[in-house]
Structure 1
Amino acid sequence: MTLQGARERWVRTGGVELCVAELGDTAQPTVVLVHGYPDSKEVWSEVAARLAEHFHVVLYDVRGHGRSTAPEPLRGGFTLERLTDDFLAVADAVSPGRPVHLVGHDWGSVQAWEFVTVERTKGRIASFTSMSGPSLDHFGHWIKKRVSRPTPRRIGQLLGQGAKSWYVYLLHTPVLPELAWRGPLGKRWPGILRRLEKVPGGDYPTPSLPTDAAHGAWLYRDNVRPRLRRPRVDAYAHAPVQLVTPLGDAFLSESLYDELELWAPRLTRRTLPAKHWVPRTRPDQLAAWIKEFVVATEGGRPTARAASGPHADRFGGQLVLVTGAGSGIGRATVLAFAEAGARVVAVDRDAQSAARTAELARLVGAPEAWAETVDVSDEQAMEKLAERVAAEYGVVDVLVNNAGIGLAGPFLDTTTEDWRKVLDVNLWGVIHGCRLFGRQMAERGQGGHIVNTASAAAYLPSRSLPAYSTSKAAVLMLSECLRAELAGRGIGVSAICPGFVNTNITSTARFAGVGPEEEDRRRRKSARLYGLRNYPPEKVAEAVLRAVVRNQAVVPVTAEARGGRLMSRFTPRALRAIARLEPPL
């Protein structure tokens, strides 16, 4: 099985023949993708196709895998020294005289750490992107430090990683791994990946899987124990390194990389809410990060500035769309994502306000920011927006349905038209956003996150806010239902429930059952009260980013929102009594 449109060549080195595939323009910088265990080069097919639009992309089957031949004998034929010989032979064949950009996953990353830290490869590697595979030397020092200076935390880290490494012990047993892979495990492996890792099928894994896995067991036998016992003391990276850490990796702990800056001074960190096989499950995000890193390293104009805000490792380069972004919580949320290096789309029904937010986003660090004008209650307009965003900017990674309006007044004074207006924006606007952008996320199949701005009013009954509270309670329940439905697709859903936040919603809120003068008076009084509380929208924006990072379900923001949430769960009768009180007018 070959990569579609790839040019193949064979490279002979160290008694083996390596099958090498090339995509893209050879005049562009060369990106070499190295696969892991028990994979072949086809694990990279989705990422390679995306990178080939910009670079000369090279993939090769590691010795003994795919269509490359295996060394004879197998024992001693998979040492890191021999794998380094293979890499240099490939690099010299595909990019003579020009350094290559190296990308490795799993054991591809383990061996690539060797490539980027040994003296004989200096000048041949321009950059290295690592995912799901640590340096065995760094790992050895990590273990020795925790054994020689144990603390409860360090012992916990050792035990945690020891449990995650269960398969390494099995692979050191003689014969059994080969029998398992050539027998039932090899047949069931594709189904295991689909079920546990949500890995799509297609051209991966290839029919050579049982043989690849049997040969690849020698990667562990030839290297793990020798390097962990006697790690090199000079394993410093001589090229810039980008570390991509899948937060749901079942085989590697995040703590393995705690001291990585000591070994890789020019380090960029990225994190993904994904499991181990990110080349198959998150190809869009990986390709974007690799492209950005390669362009920056090449010395051309970077595709994004170095983000310095909180959670930059998580949101750098991602596409975030926020509705109601013209002011208040919406604008603060756009700017918070911009500071984290995200590309942002600021949506508001006020074109001038949306444009101003996008301009501010570019000033604080967004690599790209756009303004879009739409009324979220207009279904057709939202459909056109979703189509335009997907066509021009891409599929949204994070959606924040924030647009909303306020309405106060007794139920008996609230007209049908009042109800329609508040539900059209506060509820239907959220429904439209979730349905249209959520469907795009689901169809892409690479995860995402939806944040819906509800309110503490969603669970705090009040005689003066029947319409507003009902709309926000519906948003809260919608979020809970969506969270249950979309969890299996890797899409998180969070409901943000602010209390009294100092925004301009008070200046536009409507009061049912009163005349214009009285309505204006109540608006001014509400604005004064919110101003005295003076809880800034920026803190709500911080809560939004944390909710996405932690995949939180319901997030009360402000002390009164948190207190009200507790009361709604443990003392609902007291809340009902408070709800009967006449609010000060």
Structure 2
Amino acid sequence: MRGRRGEDAVHAGTPPDSCAEADVRAEGEDSVTDGIAAAAERTIRTGEVELCVAELGDPARPTVVLLHGYPDSKEVWAEVATRLASDGAGFHVVLYDVRGCGRSTAPKPLRGGFTLEKLTDDFLAVIDAVAPGRPVHLVGHDWGSVQSWEFVTVPRVQGRIASFTSLSGPCLDHFSHWIRKRLTRPTPRRIAQLLGQSARSWYVGALHTPRLPEALWRGPLGRSWPGVLERIERVPNDSYPTASFPDDAAHGAWLYRDNVRERLLRPRPDAYAHAPVQLIVPTQDPFLSQRLYDDLESWVPDLTRRTLAARHGMPRSRPDQLTAWIAEFITSVEEGAPRPGAASPGPYAQRFGGRLVLVTGAAGAVGRATCLAFAAAGARVIAVDQDAEAAAHTASLARSAGAPHAWAEAVDIADERAVEKLAHKVRAEYGVVDVLVNDAEVGLSGAFLDTSADAWRRVLDTNLWGVIHSCRAFGGQMADRGQGGHIVNTASAAAFRPSRTLSAYGASQAAVVRLSESLRAELAGRDIGVSVICPGYARTRDDRPARLLAPRAYPPEKVADAILRAVLRNAAVVPVTPEAKAAAVLSRVAPVSLRAAARLGRRPR
């Protein structure tokens, strides 16, 4: 454990629970908080309360303070904290159990002990101890965000916060002004917004009921909560929440009782942020409407907005994405660089900004164009190709096109073990892929009787088995994560029409179409979309596809745009060029005509 700093803010008496051991350990010795690897713990006294604080990473680096919400404890940040403190980000990460939660003690009496003013005292005591004289970067989720809004808008904390990232927790003062604006200047849309948020906030009134919430949390609701989280938030029912959860939830009801009514009735008129703010809004939050933040620019001069296709529990369900955005935002503040995500780089930015996208066949014309299209939308891109140098070139172009991060991986997708190894590496280093685009393929023409068995194997190994390997490896990770995703498989118009000279290639493409349709049905219940894109030519590894499409105004960039639109709309089968669309229609309504054309020796392009 590191030596103490801010000695006057650290309690010298006997700390509660396991923090006692951490406080008397020799310098340099780490303790391990449940779910947080290599975290050093200490106890900090603030008034009558003792706070259990955990630290990870290099104290010489910028300090990031992670504040948990209700009814959580600091362990909710386990994976985010570990990632932020790792060599990739390298921050000094601080977490603490809010008063009354986890290993921190509760105030006595509980009534009046959870006001935002006292929570501000706690925060100042912690940062005085862990980062004396230095501003910290603050990240808050749920009630951790609600209290953080207080810190970032009150004068006595000004200068101590370098940046603030808000997750699923509005400022109570801003919320009150939002309600008043809709009551004093009502329109049908504003009334609908007000009624919608009122329905989402049903639990606030329930938590004001005397004694009942405490009885439920310490009884049946507390016992069933892990299963509820697994079903609603789609997060694994593992070692979280911790054993202290029933008491944490019971104590935390006073966060609502001590603050909500007071601030809604008497909001501060000067709740302006004195630090840059990054707002990350989950699009599927069952408790908070996205409309709550419509007027936020008037309160936050330096605001970066981002949306994430997730539910309320983002710290556990999307730690990889949050880590990337938090680290990127903090780095921009530290370096004085333009804020990432502050401007919309393209029409798809709100949907794909910061998402992790993996594209196979990234050295081909369409694969490269797809990488650049996702990069222009602000996605993180992994360019995969058998040609290592070409994949690296695509990744470099993606970074220049706007990707906050782009990596290259040299893998033969026909090799099942190599694809599985890549999937494990990607998950460990970058997170679970949000969008998988399978574009790697080989082209082959020739009569069936002239095509060798080895040639058939080469086509099927890449065009079909490569898609199967990727869908199994990365689609399986999407399913395990439980937060959805999207798979795009590229095929061809050859999937719809027979040809005397494309038996091997056409068979592989038809198989990809049927595989994609079957996967779409199977994975729909897991919120994983599957699309198959069918351009109108037999593509090869060189630049010939670009030359073929250019005269008809269908360059690879238009195919890439069709891929992004397919993900956005969750389209099933997308023929791209006019000949592909015609072939798709004729295969259903006039298959005889297509068979007749095949006998004439026409080749689909």
* TM-score computed with the length of structure 1 as normaliser: 0.84
User: What is aligned with 2:361?
Assistant: 324
* Deviation digits for residues 11-59 of structure 1 (CA, Å, limit 9, x no counterpart): 3334333222222332222211111111122212222222233222222
| Paired letter, 1:178 | E
The answer to which of 57-66 and 224-233 deviates more is 224-233
Aligned counterparts of 1:527 and 1:414: Cα–Cα separation in 2:
27
Q: Which amino acid aligns with 2:357?
A: V
- Compare 73-82 and 463-472 and name the one that shifted more: 463-472
Residue pair 1:322, 1:402 contacting (<8 A) in 2 also: yes
Report the RMSD for the aligned CA atoms in angstroms.
3.5
Checking the alignment, whether the CA contact within 8 Å between 2:304 and 2:342 is kept in structure 1 is no
SS of the residue 1:217 aligns to: helix
Matched AA of 1:128:
F
**Equivalent of 1:26 in 59, 79, 104:** 59
Indicate conservation of the 8 Å contact 1:20/1:58, yes or no.
Answer: yes
Q: In the alignment, which residue of structure 1 is the partner of 2:463? A: 426
1:51 aligns to 2:84 (yes or no):
yes
Partner residue of 1:177? Answer: 213
Instruction: For 1:291, give the aligned amino acid.
Output: A
In structure 1, distance between residues paired with 2:149 and 2:411? 49
Partner SS, residue 473 of structure 2: helix
Distance (Å, rounded) in 1 between the aligned partners of 2:253 and 2:438: 49
* Post-superposition offset of 1:345: 3.1
Query: Residues 385 and 213 from structure 1, CA distance in 2 versus in 1: closer, same or farther, beyond 3 angstroms?
Result: closer
Given candidates 589, 592, 598, the residue that maps to 1:573 is 589
Is 1:11 paired with 2:44? Answer: yes
65-74 or 390-399: bigger deviation: 390-399
Offset at 1:369?
A: 3.5
- In structure 1, distance between residues paired with 2:245 and 2:116: 22
Cα distance in structure 2, aligned partners of 1:305 and 1:222: 36
Residue 391 of structure 2 corresponds to 354
Q: Secondary structure at the match of 1:117?
A: coil
- 8 Å CA contact retained: 1:480, 1:493: no
Q: Cα–Cα, structure 1 residues 122 and 475, in superposed 2: closer, same or farther, change >3 Å?
A: same
CA contact (8 A) 2:443 2:538 kept: no
Which residue does the alignment assign to 2:3? none
What is the distance in 1 between the residues matched to 2:595 and 2:188?
Answer: 49
1:420-448 CA deviation, whole Å, 9 max, x = no partner? 44323221121122233444556677765
Q: 1:502 and 1:377 mapped to 2: Cα distance?
A: 19
Instruction: Determine if contact 1:306/1:341 at 8 Å carries over to the other structure.
Output: no
Deviations 1:246-267 (A, max 9, x none): 2221111222223322222322
Taking structure 1 as reference, are residues 25 and 387 closer, same or farther at Cα in structure 2, changes over 3 Å only?
closer
Aligned to 1:478: 515
Residue 162 and residue 537 in structure 1: after superposition, are their counterparts in 2 closer, same or farther (change >3 A)?
A: farther
- Matches of 1:332 and 1:315 in 2, distance apart? 16
Matched, 1:39 2:72: yes
Alignment of 1:226-245 (within 5 A): 226-245=262-281
Instruction: State how far apart, in whole Å, the 1-side matches of 2:191 and 2:341 are.
Output: 38
Deviates more, 1:74-83 or 1:133-142: 74-83
> In structure 2, what is the Cα distance between the partners aligned to 1:7 and 1:334?
41
| 1:382 Cα deviation after fit | 4.3
Given that residues 309 and 336 in structure 1 are in contact (C-alpha distance below 8 angstroms), is that contact kept between their aligned partners in structure 2? no
Map 1:96-245 to 2 at 5 A: 96-245=132-281
Is 1:249 the counterpart of 2:288? The answer is no
Match of 1:544 among 557, 560, 563: 563
Over 3 Å counting, the alpha-carbon distance change for 1:353 and 1:560 in structure 2 is same
Letter in 1 for 2:81: A
Q: Which amino acid aligns with 2:299?
A: W
Q: Kindly tell me the number of residue pairs found equivalent between the two proteins.
A: 563
Distance 1:182 1:90 in 2: 29
Note the C-alpha offset of 1:142.
Answer: 2.2
How many Å separate the matches in 1 of 2:520 and 2:312?
23
Output one character per residue of 1:139-179: Cα deviation in whole Å (capped at 9) or x when no partner.
22222333333344333322322222221222222332222
Contact persistence 2:321–2:431 (CA under 8 A): no
One-letter identity of the residue aligned with 2:393 = R
Q: 1:472 to 1:208 in 2, by over 3 A?
A: same
Secondary structure of the structure 2 residue equivalent to 1:108 = helix
Q: In the aligned structure 1, how far is the partner of 2:428 from the partner of 2:152?
A: 38
1:94-136: CA deviation from partner (whole Å, max 9, x where unpaired):
2221111111111111111111111221001111111111112
Distance, in Å, in 2 between the alignment partners of 1:158 and 1:558 is: 46
Query: Which sits farther off after the overlay, 414-423 or 55-64?
Result: 414-423
Question: TM-score scaled to structure 2, two decimals?
Answer: 0.82
Alignment partners' CA distance in 2, 1:555 and 1:315 = 20
**CA contact 2:305–2:342 (8 Å) conserved in 1:** no
Mean CA deviation greater in 382-391 or 203-212: 382-391
Separation in 1, partners of 2:187, 2:492: 43
The residue number in structure 2 matching 1:401 is 438
Unaligned ranges ≥5, structure 2: 1-17, 19-32
**Unaligned segments of structure 1, at least 5 residues:** 510-525
Q: Secondary structure at the match of 1:6?
A: strand
Aligned-partner residue type, residue 63 of structure 1: R
Q: Distance in 2 between matches of 1:229 and 1:126?
A: 30
Looking at structure 1, the residues matched to 453 and 584 of structure 2 have their Cα atoms a distance apart, in angstroms, of 30
In structure 2, C-alpha distance between the alignment counterparts of 1:507 and 1:584, rounded to whole Å:
23
Structure 1 SS opposite 2:193: helix
Q: Which amino acid aligns with 1:398?
A: V
Output aligned runs, 1:554-573, within 5 Å.
554-558=573-577, 572-573=588-589
